[in-house]
Structure 1
Amino acid sequence: MDGENIQDESGLGSDFDDDFDPLTGKDDPELPTNRYLDRELSWLAFNQRVLELAEDPLLPVLERANFLAIFSSNLDEFFMVRVAGLKRRILTGLAVPTNIGTAPQDALSDISAMAHVLQDRHARAFQDLVSPAMMAAGIHIATWDSLDEADHRSLRDYFSNQIFPVLMPLAVDPVHPFPYISGLSLNLAVRVRNSKTGKQEFARLKVPTMLPRFVRVDRREGFDNVRFIMLEDLIANHLGDLFPGMDILEHHVFRVTRNEDVEIEEDETENLIKALEKELLRRRFGPPIRLEITEDMDEVTLGLLVRELDVTEQEVYRLPAPLDLGGLFDLRVDRPDLRYVKHVPTTAVQLLAPEPNAEPDIFSSIARRDILLHHPYESFATSVQAFLEQAAADPDVLAIKQTLYRTSGDSPIVEALIAAAESGKQVLALVEIKARFDEQANISWARKLEKSGVHVVYGLVGLKTHCKLALVVRNENGVLRHYSHIGTGNYNPKTSRLYEDLGLLTADPQVGKDLTRLFNELSGYAIEKKFKRLLVAPLHLRRGLLKAINQETQAALDGKPSGIRIKVNSMVDEAIIDALYRASQARVPVEVWVRGICSLTPGLPGVSETIKVRSILGRYLEHSRIFSFHNGGDTQVYIGSADMMHRNLDRRVEALVRLVDPDHLTEIDGLFNRAMDDRTASWWLDNTGEWTRHHLDDSGKPLDDMQDRLMQQISRRVRPTGRR
């Protein structure tokens, strides 16, 4: 939840689900028709939970500012994808299924109403809560009018030397048509009057994105007492330099959000990359779907913007300044005392060398037993990254095969694959170039991989490859051995420090065979319908989960112990939800731990009375997916990449791996016990669709922070002899 493309992982996507077949959610006459919560409103409720963290005075103030930025970034992508997709469907007359049975236009109105309330609350949270708290801590967001003449002189010099040369005022008149307004750009709408003729004119001025949004007022100030002025405020107070000889009548900030979804009919194009690059160019010019304006904007200026941008009244959001609080990501203040206490991930105990000065041998460690990794509490760099780097350098490694969905452009993962290919190893990289908002970056480094000799493939037509898999084939005394990694998160060293994820390192030959078959299917023409330790979408992951849920249901009906525990980012799929309802009707205890969207309604009389739904948000983005079934006492646990959404189960290649080590099953059980404990800070979902935060006990003391507790617990794990 750091604002870096987190929405594709949290349930956003343009692909609406039009067709319902008996497997993916036929109506069950024994279940009420209003049993699903609306997915769009549920997503907005998730973002409200993010906002509640920003409003929490018990959190460090710069972390609260960061949560305000996350809220803003999240909402931007929600409009660019989900709202834009819904509006497109309405305008083109395509079917728009909704979970609550309302007409599509009514659904859009409900979303708009809730979004208006949340955006206003978000702006007030900065104005009334976070900004005053920052000020009390010595960080001031000043306005031009609050500064003295000495400050003005200093800032005028900065404006003249650093800002003025890059500004581009664009006039609007019969010779100059209304300019294109790029999506998410911050702009000044300026109305001026010719002092000689008295004629009024309009101009648009874009706030440059390459300049710091927060300008230091006086760099001589100490670290514990600093002042900033917003870039748009500084520009607005120097408009006379940009329009000499004109009277400045009005100036107001505005911002446009456009439809930036990408649509490609893969079966109708011969070159996916070229088609995608063309579509990415078109994305920039998508129609506007939201206009944010400052609350002081006059009606004349607003009327002009509404008319030229062709937006409806419902799409106008009048807010207190400043707009685009996502800019708070750029507030660079060196104040560790105002942030979470720094946490340094520990190396997984099983990957440490037994002696302090010995070089760790990752392959030997994996060969001894399966290793369950928990990031970011355990280091990604010294586990997954080191695994691939060691494989690239090891002369006994013959081949490396890996999926790449999102990674950083300068990723050591990419560099390791390049090094392996250049050293003569067989290297296959299955790159998903359709990862939302990372498409151009993925194309760039996919080409870099190809130039180095890596075999780059782009998966199966019509399916996104979302699974997180790596397979290393090693020659050990003439015998080929497979070393595998199956994870819940991307191979991205940057986000691995912010996202909570699980990963399994294993030398189990059965997993190696499963991955070999799966990679062959993805890169060639093999069709493998069954795997031993994997559940793979779209062929049989859904069926496998439904079978496991139904087995728990039957066990409960037979009077035997039963139980289902699921952790996901999103719970939307009707077939899965209905199966959980039927399990609850049979009195199966069902615990659902969800970060984002949840269309499942707990606590419905006669339907879901045994279902408990909790959500945990904090310093790390909860991102792992876990599926645990009692299974008659022989607990079955899977981890992997799939959320419970139609797209994940039907239109993506996803993979879950079954955990078999008893210690790993115990660890997963402990995670659920802690997450569902009433003494753990979390949000609880009720049968009206409302989420209620439980973070204080009856005496007003904070409840247990699960993420803090895990940091302490994992860092104290027993080290090998001689290690700390």
Structure 2
Amino acid sequence: MGDPASVSAEPVVTGQSGDLPADRFLDREEGWLRFNQRVLELAEDAQIPLLERARFLAIFSSNLDEFFMVRVAGLKRRLATGVAVTSATRHHPGELLQRVSDVSRELMLRQARCLHESVAPALAEAGIRIVRWDDLGADEQARMRALFHGSVYPLLTPFAVDPAHPFPYISGRSLNLAVTVRDPRTGRTMFARVKMPSALPRFIDLGGDRFVPTEDVVAGHLSVLFEGMEVLEHHAFRVTRNADLEVDEDETDDLVQSLENELRRRRFGPLVRLEVEETISEDVLDILRRELGAEEREVYRVPGPLNLAGLDRIADLPRPELRFAPVVPAEPSALAQDGFFDAVRSGELLVHHPYESFTTTTERFLALAAADPAVVAVKQTLYRTSGDSPIVESLIEAARAGKEVVVLVEIKARFDEQNNILWARKLEEAGCHVVYGVVGLKTHCKLALVVRRDDDGVLRRYCHVGTGNYNPSTARVYEDFGLLSAEPEVGEDLSDLFNHLTGFSRKSEYRRLMVAPTGLRDGLLHSIRREMDGHARGAPARIRIKVNSLVDEEIVDALYQASRAGVPVDLWVRGSCVLRPGLEGVSETIRVRSILGRFLEHSRIFVFENGGEPQVWIGSADLMPRNLDRRVEALIRIEDPAQRARLVELMDLAMAEGTASWRMAPDGTWERATRDGAGERLLELQSALRGDRHLRSVADG
């Protein structure tokens, strides 16, 4: 990747990017892996409560699964289809795959060390043990034998491999045992595969806060499965497969049916990773590699147990002394004093989750709309929601009450496709008008529109525009903002946008919204250029941006140009960032920070100094080509001066030298800063937000 001194010697590119250096972009894939490394560093941090460290190990595993199923699968598909063009970093997909393999292997081994050398010993000291089969006492083994025969054995189907039994298909993310047995009569050695039933937990509770991996219980009873055979060896293995869906919306008459067919095919996608325990024999590994078609770089040998995503169950143990202290969300004082609709009509409310309650704000807004006879219509977008969603129930109740209910359900939301199809059908059965968005685009914006005839006889539109999904479960752990408004221009904007989503409107300009894919990219580029122009005139100029990912090359180049013009740029990026800060003559005024903690930083905030009258936006869009060009996204401009000041204060606090964060270097590495030069702990942002009423009660302004 190079250091700052080497950048100036690189060839330069011409055109829209001017004379910026050719190596100005970092690899998106490695950037994402470095984000997951930061998650792992939380698991390694002994200052974090012990069960939360176990949860971060589980999150690391789940994240890595998704990375392989989507990003690595995409690189492999580009190679297989011959679309193996080099990336913006001038790396061939084959090179990227090898680099991804090397970094992933390093991180998986590091995760295993964290578990075995740090988290597991600390859990044992706290009386929580993850034990293997040979560690079980006689009584425990007896209980496991009873459990096996009663609840496990009926679910198992061992598959032998011989001329009459071809190698079985191994579904994605399933945990399996590779077993070698010998027939004592003939002396013949055979291979078999045993799949761990998905109905069983990853770790079986032995009682007394002791847990054993499910595969150990099965392995302890292989003699029952292969009666009369001699079991020579057994090893756990796991396959990850391509899980991206490919549906041509222009060629299908029934999007839902086509998507359901693709979902059935997802489990049979090409292999992208083979995980095996490091104790596996070369003979068994050779069989797996040959039969599964795994390349050498796709094989990951790690200490067992595999699939540490199952540590979530252990992290949920009722041991409050080993977990983060509970958070009691606040309720905006304006809502406590007045009726809900009266409060919103008297002034816009900006709510910050989970510090402020999702239940008593967003969820309550829709519940009241369903029950209020003065409400005549409800319109809503749903991208992801929970399995027992009160939001959906409110929409169903509104439809049953005779209100006009329109719900845009994005059934292409990755890994939530099946859930969203089920919700869509349930909503249709209740009488809601369900639409699936715009052909060729995912609808990712977070919008709700309630039409109500108020006591004065006026038909008013009450609106919610958010940065996060309408999901009560994730709202407790995702950090997000939402704006509740009864301002006429916001209502007109949402009406126009819903008409675009449900009909054939081509509207591209709005009053307080910037909407992708028609105007968001141009709007952001215009705002960046305005800061450059303002700085050239001597007016106050600054750019502050908070997003989950920054990988769009055109936006990155615009930020580079702003920096070269002298505009200070602060970037708060949770995940992957391809921009290189601090490059001499290129990005010297740019700082990049990342903050991870008990809450997932999920909100998107855009602040442009605008000559001393900051223009502030919140919304659903990250700075990625898919968000700007291939999704329907919406940002809303914050008008209330106190609310704007509140968001600017939050951005400045996150970027302050006295706030704990990861700081990005020009070569793309991240350094975690938790203490100052005197050894004192730096301010932990999320803790500060939980304790500071001013920072929490943004609606009170």
TM value normalised by structure 2: 0.96
1:378-417 pair list within 5 angstroms: 378-417=356-395
Partner of 2:692: 713
**Which residue of 514, 523, 536 maps to 1:544?**
523
Partner of 2:597: 618
Partner of 2:619: 640
Partner of 2:673: 694
**Which residue of 28, 36, 52 maps to 1:47?**
36
Partner of 1:316: 299
Partner of 2:153: 164
Work out the CA distance in 2 between the residues paired with 1:229 and 1:409: 29
Q: Secondary structure at the match of 1:78?
A: helix
**Which residue of 249, 258, 265 maps to 1:266?**
249
Work out the CA distance in 1 between the residues paired with 2:695 and 2:249: 50
Partner of 2:473: 494
> Is the contact between residue 429 and residue 457 of structure 1 (CA under 8 Å) also seen in structure 2?
yes
Partner of 2:46: 57
Deviation at 1:97, TM superposition (A): 4.7
| Residue type at the aligned position of 1:274 | Q
Work out the CA distance in 2 between the residues paired with 1:203 and 1:703: 55
CA gap 1:439/1:26 in 2 versus in 1, 3 angstroms: farther
Q: Deviations over 1:633-668 (max 9, x none)?
A: 111000000000000000110000000111101110
Work out the CA distance in 2 between the residues paired with 1:66 and 1:720: 32
1:659-678 pair list within 5 angstroms: 659-678=638-657
Partner of 1:200: 189
Deviation at 1:26, TM superposition (A): 6.2
> Is the contact between residue 594 and residue 615 of structure 1 (CA under 8 Å) also seen in structure 2?
yes
Work out the CA distance in 1 between the residues paired with 2:114 and 2:699: 48
Q: Is 527-536 or 564-573 further displaced after alignment?
A: 527-536
Partner of 1:211: 200
| Cα RMSD (Å) | 1.6
Work out the CA distance in 1 between the residues paired with 2:638 and 2:695: 23
Work out the CA distance in 2 between the residues paired with 1:502 and 1:711: 15
Deviation at 1:280, TM superposition (A): 1.1
Q: Secondary structure at the match of 1:484?
A: strand
Partner of 1:350: 334
Deviation at 1:61, TM superposition (A): 0.8
Q: Secondary structure at the match of 1:119?
A: helix
Q: Secondary structure at the match of 1:321?
A: coil
Partner of 1:183: 172
Work out the CA distance in 2 between the residues paired with 1:106 and 1:163: 44
Matched, 1:457 2:435: yes
| Residue type at the aligned position of 2:322 | L
Partner of 2:318: 334
Q: Deviations over 1:3-57 (max 9, x none)?
A: xxxxxxxxxxxxxxxxxxxxxx965241001101110000000000000000001
> Is the contact between residue 346 and residue 715 of structure 1 (CA under 8 Å) also seen in structure 2?
no
Work out the CA distance in 1 between the residues paired with 2:340 and 2:431: 26
Q: Secondary structure at the match of 2:692?
A: helix
**Which residue of 469, 475, 483 maps to 2:447?**
469
Matched, 1:514 2:532: no
Q: Secondary structure at the match of 2:306?
A: coil
Work out the CA distance in 1 between the residues paired with 2:621 and 2:422: 26
> Is the contact between residue 189 and residue 254 of structure 1 (CA under 8 Å) also seen in structure 2?
yes
> Is the contact between residue 26 and residue 575 of structure 1 (CA under 8 Å) also seen in structure 2?
no
| Residue type at the aligned position of 1:349 | S
Work out the CA distance in 2 between the residues paired with 1:538 and 1:157: 59
Work out the CA distance in 2 between the residues paired with 1:626 and 1:29: 28
Partner of 1:434: 412
* Count of residues paired in the alignment: 685
Q: Deviations over 1:336-390 (max 9, x none)?
A: 11100111212122211x3xxxxx6210010110100100001111000100110
Deviation at 1:326, TM superposition (A): 0.5
Q: Deviations over 1:489-519 (max 9, x none)?
A: 0000000001000000001100000110110
Work out the CA distance in 2 between the residues paired with 1:153 and 1:699: 56
Deviation at 1:149, TM superposition (A): 2.4
Deviation at 1:478, TM superposition (A): 2.6
Q: Secondary structure at the match of 1:489?
A: coil
Consecutive aligned runs of 4 or more in structure 1 exceeding 4 Å deviation? 715-721
Q: Is 472-481 or 507-516 further displaced after alignment?
A: 472-481
CA gap 1:277/1:197 in 2 versus in 1, 3 angstroms: same
> Is the contact between residue 570 and residue 645 of structure 1 (CA under 8 Å) also seen in structure 2?
yes
Work out the CA distance in 1 between the residues paired with 2:97 and 2:440: 28
Work out the CA distance in 2 between the residues paired with 1:190 and 1:720: 61
Work out the CA distance in 2 between the residues paired with 1:418 and 1:665: 35
1:20-419 pair list within 5 angstroms: 28-217=17-206, 219=207, 221=208, 226-331=209-314, 332-352=316-336, 354=337, 361-419=339-397
> Is the contact between residue 350 and residue 698 of structure 2 (CA under 8 Å) also seen in structure 1?
no
Work out the CA distance in 2 between the residues paired with 1:579 and 1:86: 27
Matched, 1:446 2:424: yes
Q: Secondary structure at the match of 2:618?
A: strand
1:524-535 pair list within 5 angstroms: 524-535=503-514
Work out the CA distance in 2 between the residues paired with 1:679 and 1:382: 33
Deviation at 1:72, TM superposition (A): 0.3
| Residue type at the aligned position of 2:585 | G
CA gap 1:720/1:470 in 2 versus in 1, 3 angstroms: closer
Q: Deviations over 1:245-266 (max 9, x none)?
A: 1111110000000111101111
Work out the CA distance in 1 between the residues paired with 2:633 and 2:306: 38
> Is the contact between residue 37 and residue 599 of structure 1 (CA under 8 Å) also seen in structure 2?
yes
CA gap 1:586/1:718 in 2 versus in 1, 3 angstroms: closer
Matched, 1:566 2:550: no
CA gap 1:490/1:311 in 2 versus in 1, 3 angstroms: same
> Is the contact between residue 349 and residue 717 of structure 1 (CA under 8 Å) also seen in structure 2?
no
> Is the contact between residue 356 and residue 697 of structure 2 (CA under 8 Å) also seen in structure 1?
no
> Is the contact between residue 86 and residue 96 of structure 1 (CA under 8 Å) also seen in structure 2?
no
> Is the contact between residue 549 and residue 576 of structure 2 (CA under 8 Å) also seen in structure 1?
yes
> Is the contact between residue 293 and residue 319 of structure 1 (CA under 8 Å) also seen in structure 2?
yes
Matched, 1:653 2:642: no
CA gap 1:715/1:413 in 2 versus in 1, 3 angstroms: farther
| Residue type at the aligned position of 1:86 | L
Work out the CA distance in 2 between the residues paired with 1:200 and 1:610: 66
Q: Is 588-597 or 121-130 further displaced after alignment?
A: 121-130
| Residue type at the aligned position of 2:281 | D
Q: Secondary structure at the match of 1:46?
A: helix
Work out the CA distance in 2 between the residues paired with 1:719 and 1:300: 63
Q: Secondary structure at the match of 1:158?
A: helix
| Residue type at the aligned position of 2:638 | L
Which structure 1 residue ranges, 5 or more long, are not aligned? 1-24, 355-359
1:594-605 pair list within 5 angstroms: 594-605=573-584
| Residue type at the aligned position of 1:420 | A
> Is the contact between residue 349 and residue 719 of structure 1 (CA under 8 Å) also seen in structure 2?
no
Deviation at 1:562, TM superposition (A): 0.5
CA gap 1:413/1:140 in 2 versus in 1, 3 angstroms: same
Q: Secondary structure at the match of 2:593?
A: strand
Work out the CA distance in 1 between the residues paired with 2:210 and 2:699: 49
Deviation at 1:717, TM superposition (A): 6.6
Q: Secondary structure at the match of 1:552?
A: helix
